[in-house]
Structure 1
């Protein structure tokens, strides 16, 4: 299964890309990432595409500290719901435990292992599926983010004891020295941030115990996230429909693959893109048509129909009544709310979109 990351990770990418002379739109296209995800931070994209973007941006611009620049602008602010739980913990130690426990909600392919040994604590990084020779920027971004998260909790003057990198030292180490402000170990056996055990007991002044408990329950609900291709495609379709730009090609971009791959994996799950799209349209259209200020032509366009009349035919087939009747409160006794509308019943050209 393709690992995904919240597109919030790209929040500051356009500004950083421009600062080193890059065209962010062009670089996104080269990395085969959808430009629309820049406006939707909760939509998830393929980790492989995200890593490709970092490495290509560093190579083309010559800014070998590109990952660190991304980390410098990110930190807690890019972690979404994970950041909320981390920030409300009573101590730095419990905050790091929460970060390690829930980081996969932000980034499928990232794991953290917090180990204490005497007076030292090692926060070891695991990046699933990375290529050893093409992941330096991803490592820098991840370790830099860990550093900035702890710094946000401890204060700007805080520094780690050491930072370890599994790759060879860059030609110019000064950006890394300036960023971390501590001894750096390259060609290490691990990628890790090492801190003092005393840091774990530091209190977080802004923490609120009741809020922490509430947020933990909310994020544990989020944790029951899609696992198979059908569920993950369903999640992306739901997000893209809200923006009015949902096609199988757009969905494939989020998974860094092509439409044939999407169709093949969904067939293996016993469903199809048309069935998923139809179910999500049915869930959204009843909400949209309740708004009297929203025209039917605009709704048809948002849901990807070729014309208002096409949507009208689909609606009658799906719900057993016209949109006008639905708005008047005239509903059939048993509307078709299942997700199995046949492709043959969909408007022409819809089944293969």
Structure 2
């Protein structure tokens, strides 16, 4: 590839950043058109509805808007009538197909280094995203969540990303590797047993974040294609291409932190402020500058999630209420009537 071609791509990415878009490198959608068509869908229709240009999918150095990308995956599930579309798309998605971030994992010297590099560098591959490696109770967690609160429907993306992460481990340890657990922030799907079969592990839904949980016994294992010199070049290329890890608007970061805490009850403003590395008074002042308050932000997130969750008829309304932080179904029902002028059961049946 010529230097001019790379500079042109970098300039297009820079233009996207200046327009406030949240970018994901197009390699994340490698093979999606064929997967849609092979499952009885019309890929051209899905891409058109999502606003994703077909030519971009063949170029791993081009970027897509993250919202469009997530919408494409949700539309693909609807188009193919394959509710677990993202789950199985992710299971077959090999690291090399993921472009620079996948190549970085493969070029890392050990499995532990590969996981750390993914945790550190994935937000350059996909902006407005948090990935981190955390330790809890003797196990490690490779965590992932989108930090832009405008992207409400993102189940398919989460499921395919956890499959991508699992395949980094499998590239080193073989296809028989299985995590200790897998967590998802979204509600339990209708065919949730397929998730346990796909990961060969317990799967939990309605969690604060998405993550793969694993032990540390094999982290010193050598990656089969480890190459430190190549790793350095790839890291530099990814960070130069992306330019930054992106940033969602302030109010959308607040909404994202509220969303991640609702399943534990009404979120505390102090916790959200701490997550954003702000004093409480600064958070409240900045919210006021946007014309809203913390309680109004909580209300808007609950309303938007309620509209998404109530449509999922296999989920009891009492579970929806719990996941939105309501202690009683009656309180949720009153709020739903206030938002939509109809009872949640009638909305569901309509």
Instruction: State TM-score, norm by structure 1.
Output: 0.59
CA contact (8 A) 2:22 2:246 kept: no
Q: Which residue among 107, 110, 119 is the counterpart of 1:100?
A: 119
Structure 2, unpaired ranges of 5+: 1-19, 248-350
Contact 1:166 1:187 in 2 (8 A): yes
2 CA distance for matches of 1:151 and 1:79?
Answer: 15
2:96 aligned residue: 77
The whole-number CA distance in structure 2 between the counterparts of 1:21 and 1:135 is 22
Distance 1:227 1:115 in 2: 22
Structure 1 contact 17–24 (Cα < 8 Å) conserved: yes
Partner of 2:183: 164
1:193 matched to which residue of 2?
A: 212
Q: Distance in 2 between matches of 1:205 and 1:9?
A: 23
Which structure's CA Rg is the greater one? 1
Distance 1:109 1:215, change over 3 A: same
Counterparts of 1:159 and 1:78, CA distance in 2:
21
Q: Secondary structure at the match of 1:198?
A: coil
Partner of 1:2: 21
Q: Please state whether the residue corresponding to 2:218 is helix, strand or coil.
A: helix
| Residues 67 and 151, structure 2, Cα contact 8 Å, conserved in 1 | no
Matched residue, 2:41: 22
Q: CA–CA distance in 2 between the matches of 1:136 and 1:218?
A: 30
CA distance change for structure 1 residues 64 and 215 in 2, over 3 Å: closer, same or farther?
Answer: same
Count of residue pairs the alignment pairs up:
228
Residues 1-353 of structure 1: pairs in structure 2 closer than 5 A = 1-130=20-149, 134-222=153-241, 224=243
TM-score by length of 2: 0.60
Query: How far is 1:223 from its partner?
Result: 5.0
Equivalent-residue separation in structure 2 for 1:128 and 1:167 (angstroms): 15
Structure-2 separation of matches of 1:171 and 1:114? 30
1:51 and 1:102 map into 2 onto residues whose CA distance is 20
**Aligned partners of 1:162 and 1:118: how far apart in 2?**
13
The structure-2 alpha-carbon separation of the partners of 1:216 and 1:2, relative to structure 1 and needing over 3 Å to count, comes to closer
Alpha-carbon distance in structure 2 between the residues aligned to 1:58 and 1:125: 21
